[in-house]
Structure 1
Amino acid sequence: MLKQELKVMSTTITLKQLPAIEITSDNFKPYGQLIIPSKDGKIYDETDAQLNLANGIPRFYIMHLKKRGRQFNHITRHGQCTQCLGSLEGKEWLMAFAPPENKNYPDIMQLKAFKIPGNCFIKLEVGTWHAGPHFDHDFVDFYNLELSDTNVIDHFTYNFNEQDHLRFEIVL
């Protein structure tokens, strides 16, 4: 990761570049599952999203996000459910992840960014730290599967600026 420094209210914030890698089922495994198209009629197996939505009412909706850029200073996790995200209209997007941990902070040494094509979706394991979605498009619509109250009672955020004086930029 390359470093760059920014001055913010007399505190130096270090900007670290996080290279985005192409997502594969194998390299994404510590964070969740990559779900790719399969033939109609395929029997359910381990390649299908292994969901945990037992702790509430599932919510499946389309999330409209406007230009987000590639920088972030917050990362979030959900401890009650898995979460699925995918873009509509085939738009490529970026997201950063740290493995699920039973801690109040992510493992920065395991923080990775992925380039995610628009013809698949991701399923995050319970507790996976995630920052994004990020993209350069004017907007992207995402389908999102989580619990109806995930963003109310199951939304734990870690602030890299406040805790570590860090900000990240996903680079291609």
Structure 2
Amino acid sequence: MQRLRNTRASEHVRPGRARLTIACVAVAAGLKLPIVKYLQPQRISAETFKPFGQVIGPTADGKEFDAEDAQLVLDKGTPRFYIMRLPKKGLRFHRITYHAQCTQCLGSLQPMGRWFLAVAAPTMSVQQYPKEKDITVFEIPHGCFVKMKEGTWHAGPLFFESEYMDFYNLELNDTNVVDHNTHDYRKINNIQFDIMRPL
């Protein structure tokens, strides 16, 4: 992960009256605009994702279970496997979350859709949230899924080329109710993150 540069959100506004007007109104109202931090994504691989979990690709039918298969931890509740539809929100985020009680698997159903996931190594503490240098962003292609370790901080899935994307998601049935541990960078640190768009 590379740190490129910091700027105020008003400097990051693209040409366009609507956004410029919003920025001017915010300044006039005395609001403190968040500092934008830029993150460079990298293509995912089993090795680069290892600190955070596993990358699982296709295997031949009949292959026996081994260490290359997803090592799941779902024994603290009822597993939930479902298709999650998300609307396009772009490549900006200001919240990051972890689930302490289970692993989580995510993968895209769209053949042409690429998506992005920001992750950081587990700390198992909301107070010990990831700093900018701790966050890595991966571009994840169709044809594989990721399994995140218990406690892995994550923001996403994020995408910008489709109006919506469908993801299969494996976690516990109450993960988002009782095990949704979140840090809000904009609220607490006055910063937000932009993922640089790849070519």
TM-score normalized by structure 2? 0.83
| 1:103-118 map, 5 Å | 103-104=125-126, 105-108=128-131, 109-118=133-142
More strand by percentage? 1
Shift of 1:89: 2.0
* Structure 2 match to 1:73: 94
* Structure 2 match to 1:130: 154
Counting aligned pairs with the same residue, the percent is 44
CA distance in structure 2 between the aligned counterparts of 1:22 and 1:13, rounded to whole angstroms = 28
Shift of 1:10: 2.5
Deviations 1:9-47 (A, max 9, x none): 532411011011000001001111111111111111111
* Structure 2 match to 1:158: 183
Greater relative CO, 1 or 2 (CA 8 Å, sep 6+): 1
* Structure 2 match to 1:94: 116
Is contact 1:99–1:106 with CA below 8 Å preserved after alignment? no
* Structure 1 match to 2:173: 148
Moved more, 50-59 or 34-43: 34-43
Shift of 1:92: 1.1
CA distance in structure 2 between the aligned counterparts of 1:66 and 1:88, rounded to whole angstroms = 14
Is contact 1:98–1:106 with CA below 8 Å preserved after alignment? no
Equivalent position amino acid for 1:155 in 2: H
Deviations 1:43-63 (A, max 9, x none): 111110000000000000000
CA distance in structure 1 between the aligned counterparts of 2:158 and 2:186, rounded to whole angstroms = 18
Tell me the SS of whatever aligns to 2:34. Answer: strand
CA distance in structure 1 between the aligned counterparts of 2:124 and 2:88, rounded to whole angstroms = 32
Among 23, 35, 43, the residue aligned to 1:22: 43
TM-score normalized by structure 1? 0.96
Moved over 6 A (4+): none
CA distance in structure 1 between the aligned counterparts of 2:106 and 2:156, rounded to whole angstroms = 10
Among 2, 6, 12, the residue aligned to 1:3: 6
5+ residue gaps in structure 2? 11-25
Tell me the SS of whatever aligns to 1:133. Answer: strand
Equivalent position amino acid for 1:107 in 2: P
Deviations 1:81-102 (A, max 9, x none): 0000000022210010011112
CA distance in structure 1 between the aligned counterparts of 2:65 and 2:54, rounded to whole angstroms = 15
Shift of 1:119: 0.6
Is contact 1:79–1:154 with CA below 8 Å preserved after alignment? yes
CA RMSD between the two structures: 1.2
Tell me the SS of whatever aligns to 2:187. Answer: helix
